[in-house]
Each structure stands twice: as C-alpha cells, then as structure tokens.
Amino acid sequence: MRICVAGAPGAFGRRHLDALGAIDGVEVTSVVGGEPDDMEGFAGDRGIGHWTRDLGESLARDDVDAVILATPTQLHAEQAIAAMRAGKHVMIEIPMADSLKDAEDIARVQRETGLVAMVDHVRRFNPSHQWVHNRIEAGELTLQQLDVQTFFFRRTNINAEGKPRTWTDHLLWHHACHTVDLFQYQTGGEAIECFGLQGPPHPELGIAMDMSIGLKAANQAICTLSLSFNNDGPLGTFFRYICDNGTYIARYDDLVDGNENPIDLAGVAVSDNGIELADREFLAAIADGREPNSSAAQGLSAMRTLDRLEKSFGG
C-alpha cells in the first residue's frame, strides 16, 4: 500500500508516519507540508522519495493509493473530497470537518466513488476503550455514566508539540468530537438529548476557552464532559466509565479500575498505540474492500450531535 501523508511535519502527521513505520507492506511515497516547513529536509530524513507543498501534486501521482490528512481542520472537507475525486482512499484526522454540511458532503462523495473514507476517531481503537467496548458488547458491563475531562493550557495558538499553529483549534469541533463519538460508540447510537454551555471567547483567538457538555443515550446512560484551554495542570483527556459492574478510568492507552488498580490490556490488540491501530484498520479496509470501523458514514452521527450542541449555545 502506497501512502501520502499530508500535514506530515505537524504533530499528528509525524505520529501517523511513526505508526505506518510499524506496519508491514506499507510505503510512504509522498509527504505534503506547508510554509515554513523544510519539506525537502524532512522527507530526506524520513527516506521519503517525494515531497511537496501542493496536495494536488501528490494526488496526481500513480504511486499514491491512499492519503492520510493530518492537515488543518478547515481544509479537511475540501481535501478529502479532492482525494476521492482523484481515486484515492482517504483517512481524515479528527474532526472530519468543522460543520455538518461539510461532513455530509464527504460522506456523499464516498458513496459516489465507493472508496474507503475513514475518520481517525482514535478513541475507538485505544486498547483501554476497546477493553470496555468488548465487555459492553459481551453483556458484561452496562454504562451508567461516562465522565470526561479534556484539559489543556493553550492560551496561544500552539500545537501538541508546542509549536505555532497556522490555524485555530476548537474545543467543540475537535476535542468534544472525540468524546461525543466515543460515548455514542459505547452506547450504540446517537444521543437522544444534548446540551452545551460555553464560556467567553478569547479576545484574540475568537474561540471559547471553556465548555461544558451533557449527553443522554437511548439506554438512559449519560455523559458529562468538561473542556478547557485554561487549565494550568495535568494536560490531556481523562475518562471515567461508571458502570453497573465496576468503575474504570482510561488515560490514553492505560486503564485502571476505580481504585487505581491496573487492568491488564494484553491481548486486546496487536499494538498499544491507538493511532497505529486506526491506521491498520484503514489499510485493512482498503485491502478487504469493506467499510472500516469509524468510516465517514459512521462519523456523521457525531457531527450531527456537535451541530445540535453548537446550536444549543445560542448567542
């Protein structure tokens, strides 16, 4: 499988490159970046034969079968559609778009082309969340409440590696998207109720820096989500699964019970890296000619809920 990674010099582009390096039968044949990235040096260091700042140039190449988009959110819909129109399978780093309409357009073009279009809802693939999902599916657990904190200290426009961004991140359309999709995945359907509250916008970034979200599933399970770019403390997202048969706390790829006793995740998946596992699913779906877990079509459910939440903010 011959892959182009767009946004490769960025934090998550690098993580996808590292993940692909752990998968047999994959060659990264092209990388796409932007100014002021040293794309020639980056590609040379990685042993990648082609680099460009123009995604269209990579899409026109015969040695590209599929594209992973780790580019700014605002470009996702346009670039995903261009990739599929060029005959390339596409994986889109979360979120698939920053509006419901754009997400619907991606899903429509996927249906028209029949290509694989997948969203990197990595929480579906993290072994910690897979462990819980497997037990819910087996009838061993029933989720009562998912309590989530997504906390960062990001009062300037920087990325996960502490470098300046050329675009503005968003608590709702990016960070809340992770939890909305995960909750709906774990409860088996779209939230029947949702509400959101947001704090004042940042005077320069123009985005809300604090947010509170509530969701309710058809099975009456609830989700309580707190998000902040103002938190000066431990960073990241922390998940507490309160179930009928135990409480479990997930921190990225680690899982403990409610008393901090480690849960053995050995055997849950072939890797403990959620990004690698998502990339493996993308490649396997292409090889098998099937819909992947976390397809663009499946991702519409989260986008519809995010659209409802945005409207609940009011003025």
**Domain 2-121+275-293 matches domain 123-269+302-312 at the CATH topology level:** no
DSSP 44-71: HHHT-SEEES-HHHHHT-TT--EEEE-S
Q: Which CATH architecture has domain 123-269+302-312?
A: 2-Layer Sandwich (3.30)
Label residue 78 left, alpha or beta by phi (over 0 means left) and psi (-120 to 50 means alpha): alpha
Contact assessment for residue 89 and residue 117, using Cβ atoms and an 8 Å cutoff? yes
**Residue 86: closest CA among 123, 106, 61, 69:** 61
Domain boundaries, the chain: 2-121+275-293, 123-269+302-312
Contact assessment for residue 280 and residue 23, using Cβ atoms and an 8 Å cutoff? yes
**pLDDT tens digits, one per residue of 43-68:** 999 999 999 999 999 999 999 999 99
Strands 236-243 and 143-151: antiparallel
Over 70: is that where the pLDDT of 159 sits? no
**Residue 172: closest CA among 221, 135, 226, 122:** 226
- Rounded Cα gap, residues 10 and 2, in angstroms: 20
Over 60: is that where the pLDDT of 284 sits? yes
Over 90: is that where the pLDDT of 154 sits? no
- Rounded Cα gap, residues 304 and 206, in angstroms: 23
Say how many C-beta atoms besides its own lie within 10 A of residue 35's C-beta. 7
Over 70: is that where the pLDDT of 166 sits? no
Over 70: is that where the pLDDT of 162 sits? no
- Rounded Cα gap, residues 271 and 204, in angstroms: 41
Mean pLDDT of 235-248: 95
Mean pLDDT, all residues of the chain: 93
- Rounded Cα gap, residues 173 and 224, in angstroms: 17
**pLDDT tens digits, one per residue of 167-193:** 667 899 999 999 999 999 999 999 999
Give the gyration radius of the chain's Cα atoms. 19
Q: What percentage of the chain has pLDDT greater than the value 90?
A: 83
Structure confidence at residue 160 (pLDDT): 59
- Lowest-pLDDT range, 33-37, 63-67, 185-189, 209-213? 33-37
**Topology given in CATH for the domain delimited by 2-121+275-293:** Rossmann fold (3.40.50)
Q: Which two tokens stand for residue 9?
A: 């010099």
Contact assessment for residue 29 and residue 64, using Cβ atoms and an 8 Å cutoff? yes
Over 90: is that where the pLDDT of 206 sits? no
